[in-house]
Structure formats: C-alpha cells, structure tokens
Amino acid sequence: DAKTRGRDSFRKYHPAMDEPIQDHLILENDLRKALKNDEFVLHLQPQVDMRSGWIFGAEALIRWKHPQQGLKSPGSFLPVAIESNLIIDIDRWVLGQACDLIARWRTAGLGDLRLSVNVSGQLFAHDNIADLVAELILQSGIRPCQLEIELTENTIMQNNLKTVSHLSRLKNLGVQIAIDDFGTGYSSLSYLRNFPIDTLKIDRSFIRDLTEAPSAIAITRAIIALGESLGLTIICEGIETPHQKEMLMDLGCHHAQGYLFGRPDTLESFTRRLQRQQQQPAPFA
C-alpha cells in the first residue's frame, strides 16, 4: 500500500540526508498552499452489484491538481500529509465535500447512493470526529446512512479505547463504517466483535492473486464466510478481469469495486454515468 510504504520510507531518512528532508519541507509547504487555494479534487469510483452491474455506491478518492505537475495521486503526497498532520485538515475537507456531494445528488434526483470516504488514523485520534461529522450531516441535510467512513485495521488497533467510543458515536449518528484493505493489517479478529462495523473491503492483493495462488482463494473464501456470518457487507476491491469477477461470484461475493467496473473518475463524468443509470429500470437483484 503506497500510504504505508510512504510512511515507512520516510522513517528511513537519516537527518544527515538533508535532500529528502528538504523535499519533505517543500512538499509540506505546497500542501498547505494547496488546501488554502482549493487545489484538491475528489474523484469517484463506482461500487457495483456484479449480478446486475448496478452502481449502489462510490468511493471518494482524493487527487491534487498541482499547478505545475498536473494531477497527482494520493500515494505521492499523503505520506507527507500524514507525517505533518496536515492530513487532519485534508480529511475534514474531504468529509465536507462528500456531504455536500450527497446532498447535491439528492437534489438532482440521483437518490440513495452511498458515498465512502477514507479517514486517517490522525483524524480518528482527534477527539472531534463524531462532532465534526454530526455537524456536517446537519449542515448538508443528508441522511447519515448515505455516508460511509472507511478506516484500516491499523487505525482501529492504534488507539483502541478511543476508537471504540468514536465508532460508537458515529454509529449512533447512523453513519456506516467500513474496514478498508481488510486482511492486510496487524490486527486481531476479535475487534470485529467489539466494533460496530457494517462493511469489510477485501484487499486488492487477495483479488489480484486469486487466479494464481490457492492461498488467496482460501483466504478470500474465509473472509466472505466470516463477514456473512457476522451479517456484514463484503466488497471486493481491485477487480480488473472478468475471470476475477466470475471467481468472486462463485465464492458468493457480489459487491465490488475495481477497474473492470470503472476507474476513479471526475465528478462530472461519474454523475453522467449515474444519470444514465437512473433512466434505466432498477434491477431486483
């Protein structure tokens, strides 16, 4: 994962290596300006029911419209944002944008779509996340269940007690909670009993290896069974080929996100796709 990789490679920089530090400071400064100058945008990737192809939700993925370097992916700037705690302001911005977007879809008659937002451990450790989200919901007038918050297993494990109370408060608001990159973090499965989770997103690495590694099939099958018996929604991340889609449907997983169904795309383009879908009869899958 680019995020964690970036974080680790940062730790390796020795104080004597001043060039990376210099780069870091420049990037940190640019990120601060980017927030002020509104240079971030959200791209959206559809989440579909594979039986019908119906889009039931989307994940918001941040991009940076860099004035000189063009569109930058999160892997190139989130590690520094995390190091410098700027991620808290970025996450707040993303949450605000997401709520506004859900409200606009509503007004446009695009209905009940759920929007997922990635939230960092930093914001989560911050005492106000439930207050912040409550306020945003009130301001935008959205139905709370249309907002889903994605966090990783590591975020959950980082700050156990605090996280439990934050999650419970978010849950009480009616917000959905998803575990991102499920199966890749350092975690004990027991947290699944104590945390009010709705969705597990099976990490892309398992999906990628499905066709070659029997172990990936075994793990994916086990996650699906676990999720089902706990009454959770399972979403498979990173489906790229029809073969992977078939295998997952055979394993009983129907909800997916991946290039096969759509790459992250601009708001305008994603909204056009929603409008086309709206003109079709809804499937009863």
Q: Show the site string, 162-201: x = touches Mg ion by CB under 5 A, - = not.
A: ------------------xx--------------------
Which residue, 97 or 118, has its beta carbon nearer to Mg ion?
118
- Binding residue for ligand C2E, selected from 47, 97, 118, 220, defined by CB under 6 A: 118
List all residues 6 or more positions away from 155 whose beta carbon is below 8 Å from its beta carbon: 119, 120, 121, 124, 163
- 282 sits in the region (left: phi over 0; alpha: psi -120 to 50; else beta) called beta
Nearest to 248 by CA among 110, 48, 63: 48
Confirm or reject binding of residue 238 to ligand C2E (CB under 6 A): yes
What is the distance between the alpha carbons of residues 119 and 103, in angstroms, rounded to a whole number?
Answer: 20
List all residues 6 or more positions away from 68 whose beta carbon is below 8 Å from its beta carbon: none
Q: Applying CB under 6 A, which part among 50-58, 212-220, 234-242, 268-276 lies near ligand C2E? A: 234-242
Confirm or reject binding of residue 62 to ligand C2E (CB under 6 A): yes
| DSSP letter for each residue of 16-39 | T-HHHHHHHHHHHHHHHHHHHTT-
Q: Show the site string, 66-105: x = touches Mg ion by CB under 5 A, - = not.
A: ----------------------------------------
Confirm or reject binding of residue 153 to ligand C2E (CB under 6 A): no
Do the strands 54-66 and 40-49 form a parallel or antiparallel pair, or are they unpaired?
antiparallel
Confirm or reject binding of residue 76 to ligand C2E (CB under 6 A): no
What is the distance between the alpha carbons of residues 250 and 75, in angstroms, rounded to a whole number?
Answer: 33
- Give contact residues for ligand C2E (rule: CB under 6 A): 2-3, 45, 61-62, 73-75, 78, 87, 91, 94, 118-120, 150, 180-181, 204, 238-240, 257-259, 264
